[in-house]
Homo-oligomer: A and B are copies of this chain.
Amino acid sequence: MADRKRPRTSRLSARDWADAALDAIRDGGLAAVAVEPLAARLGTTKGSFYWHFSGRDALVTAALERWEERETEAVILEIGEAGTPGERLRRLFRITTAAAARESGPIELALLADAGHPAVAAAVRRVTGRRIAYLVDLFAEHGCPPAEARQRALLAYTGYLGHAQLARSVPGALPRDEEAADYVESVLRALLSGGRREP
């Protein structure tokens, strides 16, 4: 998030550019990663950019690396290990739906959109894999046999993605406030009921 528009206190690093590029991706897609506009937003010029990077592609790559780095270190660990799988899932949903309701949405949304770019596709593939694997573990621990766990994990994740989509583009279609909490509970019921090994 890196407060954009700091008054150019010191000089810039490659990381600053990568973060700015991520910001741009979030609310403009890959196409918004344009050197000159970014330079303007950072209060600098292309001269800076082409010193740190060989070109636009290098910036995109760096931004993707930075994204994977962040998402790896942050998101899943925030849930912690405490509680039953159901409770962890509840925490996860609360966090993600709240996040989706606030800002312009998670970055993967924008990235999924232009998965035409090979580097983007690869990064998205990796992150998606990690997340679904995490969810599969959760459902397995909840008592689902492997196949069922995988299916429920998939439904949970596709539901998350779709939710994020709607939050960004048709926010009016989603419940707010207490209704949102009810909705999360309803989804949890649907996801956790039945399908366990020993009922």
- A contacts with B: majority SS: helix
Check A114–B29 contact: CB distance below 8 A: yes
Looking at the assembled complex, report how far the CB atom of A178 sits from the nearest CB atom of chain B, in whole angstroms. 11
Q: Is A35 an interface residue (CB 8 A)?
A: no
Q: Is A140 an interface residue (CB 8 A)?
A: no
Which residues of chain A in 154-184 are interfacial with respect to chain B, using CB atoms and an 8 Å cutoff? 154-155, 157-163, 165-166, 168-170, 172-175, 182-183
Looking at the assembled complex, report how far the CB atom of A47 sits from the nearest CB atom of chain B, in whole angstroms. 28
Chain A, interface size category, equals 35 or more
Pick the residue among B148, B154, B162 that contacts A173 (CB under 8 A).
B154
Whether A170 touches B28, Cβ cut-off 8 Å, given contacts A151-B186, A182-B147, is: no
Contacts of A99 in B (CB 8 A): none
Check A158–B152 contact: CB distance below 8 A: no
Name A residues whose Cβ lies closer than 8 Å to a Cβ of B.
27-29, 31, 109-110, 112-116, 121, 124-125, 128-129, 132, 147-148, 150-152, 154-155, 157-163, 165-166, 168-170, 172-175, 182-183, 186-187, 189-191, 193-195
Task: A155-B159, A158-B163, A162-B165 are known; give 20 further A-B pairs, CB within 8 A.
Answer: A31-B31, A112-B113, A113-B113, A113-B114, A121-B169, A124-B169, A125-B169, A151-B183, A151-B186, A154-B173, A155-B190, A157-B166, A158-B158, A158-B160, A158-B166, A159-B162, A161-B161, A161-B162, A190-B190, A193-B194
